[in-house]
Structure 1
Amino acid sequence: MKNTLYTLSVGVVALLLQACNDDDFKNIESDLLGDVNFTSGTYSPDLLVENKSEEKIQTDASSSLLLGHYTQNPFGTKKAKILSQVSLPSTPAVFGRKTKASEDSDKFDEQEKVLEAYLYIPFFSRKTTNINSQNQQVNNYALDSIYGKNDATFDVQVKESNYFLRDIDPNAGFSVNQVYYSNLNVSSQLGTAIGEANHLAIKNEGIKRFHFDNPSTTEDESKNELDELAPGLRIALNPDFFQHKLFDKEGDVALSTSQNFVKYFRGVHISVENLSKNLMMLLNLNEAKIELVYSYKAKVQDKEQQLKDRYEMKLSGIRVNVFENTGENIPTFANNNDVKNIYLSGALGQVAELTLLSDADLKRMREEQWIINDASLLLFVDQSVTYEKEPERLYIYNAETGLVLADYALDATQNASSNSSSMLSHLGKLQKENKKGVYYRLRITQHVADIVRNNAKNVKVGIAVASNVNLSISSRDGALTEDAPIIYFDANNKKKLTKRTTIATPLSTVIYGNSSSVPAEKRLKLQISYTKPK
């Protein structure tokens, strides 16, 4: 009974203390516990640090892909390209009103002809609407995840890919999905360009589309708005390519099933060149599509008419971000207890692994029956590095499994609809002074408490730049899933795990490490507040 009461009382104290600010700990502990049975204190263990360079990273597990070039020293220049499969809206493919078999049996050739072709990939944006002075609804868009200079100009090139992206890994007994990495080299298997656009610029305007004119009416329906696409890239493609590749193949076995189609038309490769300034775009591939405008003949009330229609194919299936890094100048440190800086970078970049507690620390804490009231990892930004834009969030995770820590599920600030205001306790936002980043606080109280009191494994933790701290993000097939870990290989070709969110941002930061050469007030620190029985 005595042990039960002790456990309950200390547990209540710990919960109350977790809800407090750091300055409140001393007063509250004194008020609740007095000096009779408990004593309290703070402790900062010596941390071990390992910088991990990603030589290649899995990039086929997301529908949010980067495109562009982004430079920041000492991380060099990151270049991002996109390779994606294309899917038919239904099979077998039908153009016009009749199948090819029906055209043949009816002896009526619809003479479908591709007139225009476009590739559309939207930016991420937030839409608001208002009514203008003409009493018309106007859509306004605020763009998200555009890194670098919004006024940069750039060229986009789209090529047919002849590289077959297979679903299943034959080297694993055809039992698991094939994994694709950032270093996938398909340059020798690209066809000629099927679309090019020069001197493009980012615009936050919607893209209006209009109805086709109906020749059976006196009204010109082509003046009537059909819809408005969210802001994004809309690249004119070569109509003749799709006439030959698709429309002339109507009724062919290549267009009869989805499986046959992805073997026949293996996808598109998208790249940017000639950027006038630093620019990287995070694009929403879930809403990306190829739009074909075509004409065809049809009989309407026994009269032949020339009509128009649209045929749209999604960029779905397997999508891979191909990354290339050049000009990196990141130092290495021989001793993990004497690391001056921690280098963190998204896309194909850098993560860190930390050992939080030594065996001696754990032995002492367990023998003295410590109750962990708060455990916060403080990471101070090296402001001598020039940042065009700093990452607002970092992610901490189990480096062995790639999964979140126990504190993630306990954070009462989880907000699935707003990344910026979610997980503010566990994964604190970058704290700034004069618009410059100063430090991050990652609260890992439950993780440390589980190690000390519940004999949880004292695993290394990973630290990575995060584009999104919420778990539910789009996966390969477009469904919302838990943010499963992804694979990367380090400089020693060792297979490691990290969070998917880190590949969706090019941003980087340099953090002060654990070296004695770092000023004490800026040194990497795990600050533990504890209570223990006397």
Structure 2
Amino acid sequence: MNLKNTMLKITTVVAVVISFIACEDDFATVGSSVIGEPGFNASLYDDAMISAHSYDLPAVQTNNLPLNLLGVYRDEVFGTQEASILSNLLLTSENPSFGTEPVVDSVVLAIPYFSREVLEDDEVVYALDSIYGSSPFKLSVYESNYFLNTFDPETNFEQAQRYYSNLEPQIMSNINPDVLYETESFEPSAEERTEYIVDGSGVTDTVTMAPALRLKLNNNFFQNKILDKAGTASLLNQSNFKNYFRGLYLKADEVSNGGTMMLLNLLHSDAGITIYYKTKVVDATDLDDDDDFEELIEVRRSYTLKFGGVRVNTFEQEVPQFEGENLFLKGGEGSMAVIELFSGPDANNDGISDELEFLRDNDWLINEANLEFFVNRDYTTGTNLNEAERLYLYDLNNNSILADYILENVGQPNSTSSAANRLHLQPLTRDENGNGVKYRIRVTNHIDELLNRDSTNVKLGLVVTQNVNLISTYRVLPSANPEVQRVPGGALLTPEGTVLYGPNAEDEDKRLKLKIYYTEPKN
């Protein structure tokens, strides 16, 4: 059997390559200086053997993600996902003094939304970003008595503690049942908010701020928990306070077939819990101009607790049973795809497929290589699924980026500080109705290293991502199936998803394919 004729089916496409050069959006070359020159053939190879399957994630590590999801999101493909947040609180000043006979006036929890200003009917208003869904959900706020360790006691406190997305049962068994806030119909609002601030002399001023999740918490709780504890060991320092007030749990529950999920930054400078109170202080500067510098006068004050320390996202995710050759990708504690290129037979059992060994012998100059993923519209058309705008492909063996993430072309570094990375990880192509058609991921440098530098043919992980820059990986809870050990943080911060055709789909035109454009010397 002729391996070159039966397995590889290499097609020479000089005219096709010339047309790709003319269209920069569709084709860019690494070794373009040799394409079409005398003594070379320019060709396309698109018969690589690929294996790929979906992988339902077990619980994932979610402590200290840069951002957090809160809310409920339901789509008709993957079902319902609920995301809640447990966080430490920090004192803004240790051993605070609240004056004499302080009394809570109000307590406000605020976390700004991601938003931008837009012009509407000649008026500047706000539009919210990173909001998924448009119906209410139940939101509750509890005091948590579950202690969050920074370091793992089982490692003699030498390694950081890991917390996973399945922590909710333990949290709920350790909460204060007296709810601090609860509503059955929470929805984010794009309206700007008005806050009042109190300066050091007790003078109040109102300020207008961008939209935020803003909740009024129970006054009596914070009177007893914070103001009445002034001067005690509980508020003396952060360590004592962390043990005394162990955290706050923002819990989301579905109330109907729907909901809304929000991406939040709990470490935003304007995020926290502000206690507004009245107190009596010595009128040392004679604020009331009565020449009495020793009397007690009533003033307004405020004190803020910040989110910080350890933060954990918990997820409750339906796990539908999918069959067939499709690849199901879902953010959060969802699902991903595991891909192996050149996955055919290995006759000599050396760990390298016969196909890859043959390709390495050809001494090809790799001009461009792309993986093309077509969206299966049978699952996504007519549904309320938020289709992911971006996918992220990574080295699953080493939990690291591919060479193409850094290098757009050989010797030309990509800007990893940019949110774009649009040559390697190209955004979803949509049709005229806004429906997703396909994703294309450029893997030119990865394939060049495999074929010409004998790089290890690692398995690849494919996930949806909220941001292609969020590439730090987080552990998957060790389970009976260790195929996936870590996932990128960007995949944990979105409820979006997609369904892709696999490499063995019945529709050959939409199968997952690796397209390699190469040149080789003429015989």
TM-score normalised by the chain length of structure 1: 0.82
Paired residue secondary structure (2:76): coil
Q: Deviations along 1:79-125, whole A, 9 cap, x unmatched?
A: 111111111002123324xxxxxxxxxxxxx1112121111122111
Task: Name the counterpart of 1:529.
Answer: 517
Instruction: Indicate whether 1:512 and 2:493 are aligned.
Output: no
Of residues 457-466 and 167-176 in structure 1, the stretch that sits farther from structure 2 once superposed is 167-176
Among 488, 491, 505, the residue aligned to 1:502:
491
Return 5+ residue gaps in structure 1 as ranges. 1-12, 97-109, 133-137, 333-338, 472-482
Q: Which residue pairs with 2:321 in the alignment?
A: 330
* Aligned twin of 1:161: 144
For 1:121-142, what per-residue CA distance to the aligned partner results, in whole angstroms no more than 9, with x for missing partners?
221112469998xxxxx86322
Q: Distance in 1 between matches of 2:212 and 2:199?
A: 26
- The 1:417/1:408 distance shift into structure 2, 3 A limit, reads closer
Residues of 2 paired with 1:440 and 1:129: CA distance? Answer: 32
Change (3 A) 1:18 1:402: farther
Do the aligned residues in 1 keep the contact of 2:42 with 2:517 (CA within 8 Å)?
A: no
Q: Alpha-carbon deviations, 1:292-311, whole Å to 9, x = none?
A: 00111112231321001110
The residue type equivalent to 1:484 in the other structure is: S
Task: Using the aligned pairs only, state the percent identity.
Answer: 34
Contact 2:164 2:477 (C-alpha < 8 Å) held by counterparts: no
* Structure-1 separation of matches of 2:27 and 2:417: 31
Shift in Å at residue 61 of structure 1? 2.9
**1:338-386 CA distance string (max 9 Å, x none):** x610010001100111111242222112211122111100001010113
Q: 1:263 to 1:67 in 2, by over 3 A?
A: same
Q: Is the 8 A contact 1:125 1:231 kept in 2?
A: yes
Q: d(CA) in 2 for partners of 1:212 and 1:20?
A: 57
Amino acid at match of 2:406: A
Provide the C-alpha distance between the structure 1 equivalents of 2:446 and 2:331, rounded to a whole number of angstroms.
Answer: 25
Q: 2:180 aligns with which of 191, 194, 206?
A: 194
Deviations 1:254-284 (A, max 9, x none): 2111111111100011123354533111112
Contact preservation (8 Å) 2:98, 2:227: yes
Taking the aligned partners of 2:85 and 2:131, their CA distance within structure 1 comes to: 16
CA contact (8 A) 1:156 1:198 kept: yes
**Quick check: 1:209 aligned with 2:195?**
yes
Gaps in structure 2 of 5+ consecutive residues: 1-16, 287-292, 344-352
Matched residue, 1:278:
259
Native 8 Å contact 1:377 1:525 kept in 2? yes
TM-score by structure 2 length? 0.83
Shift of 1:171: 1.9
- Of residues 229, 245, 252, the one that matches 1:265 is 245
1:487 and 2:475 equivalent? Answer: yes
In 1: Cα distance, 2:498 partner to 2:52 partner:
16
What is the identity, as a one-letter code, of the residue corresponding to 1:240?
Answer: N
Q: Contact 1:52–1:491 (CA<8 Å) still a contact in 2?
A: no
Q: Which of 346, 357, 368 pairs up with 1:363?
A: 357
Is 2:187 the partner of 1:183? no
User: Within the alignment, does 1:116 sit opposite 2:114 as a pair?
Assistant: no
Q: Offset at 1:215?
A: 10
RMSD over aligned Cα atoms: 2.9
Aligned residue among 199, 218, 222 for 1:242: 222
Call closer, same or farther: CA 1:43–1:120 in 2, change over 3 Å.
same
Matched to 1:87, the amino acid is: L
Q: What is the rounded CA distance, in whole Å, between the counterparts of 1:295 and 1:215 in structure 2?
A: 12
Structure 1 residues 38 and 69: alpha-carbon distance in aligned structure 2, compared to 1, 3 A threshold: same
Counterparts of residues 28-107 of structure 1 (less than 5 Å):
32-34=36-38, 36-96=39-99
What residue in structure 1 maps to residue 379 of structure 2?
385
Distance in 2, matches of 1:279 and 1:354, equals 32
Counterparts of 1:247 and 1:159, CA distance in 2: 19
- 8 Å CA contact retained: 1:53, 1:490: no
Matched-pair contact (CA < 8 Å) for 2:44–2:515: no
The offset of 1:401, in angstroms, is 2.2
Report the Cα offset of residue 23 of structure 1: 6.3
Q: Is the 2:395–2:458 Cα contact (8 Å) retained in structure 1? A: yes
Alignment pair present for 1:374 and 2:363: no
* Aligned 8 A contact 1:413 1:425 in 2: no
Deviations along 1:370-424, one digit per CA (max 9) or x if unpaired, are 22111100001010113422110000011122221111112389677874xx011
> Following the alignment from structure 1 to structure 2, what is the Cα–Cα distance between the partners of residues 272 and 512?
33
**Which range moves more in the overlay, 349-358 or 161-170?**
349-358
Kindly indicate whether the alpha-carbon contact (under 8 Å) linking 2:192 and 2:211 is maintained by their aligned counterparts in 1: yes
Give the deviation of 1:154 after TM superposition.
3.3
> Deviation of residue 71 (structure 1)?
1.7
| Matched residue type, 2:393 | I
The 1:356–1:490 alpha-carbon spacing in structure 2 relative to 1, beyond 3 Å, is farther
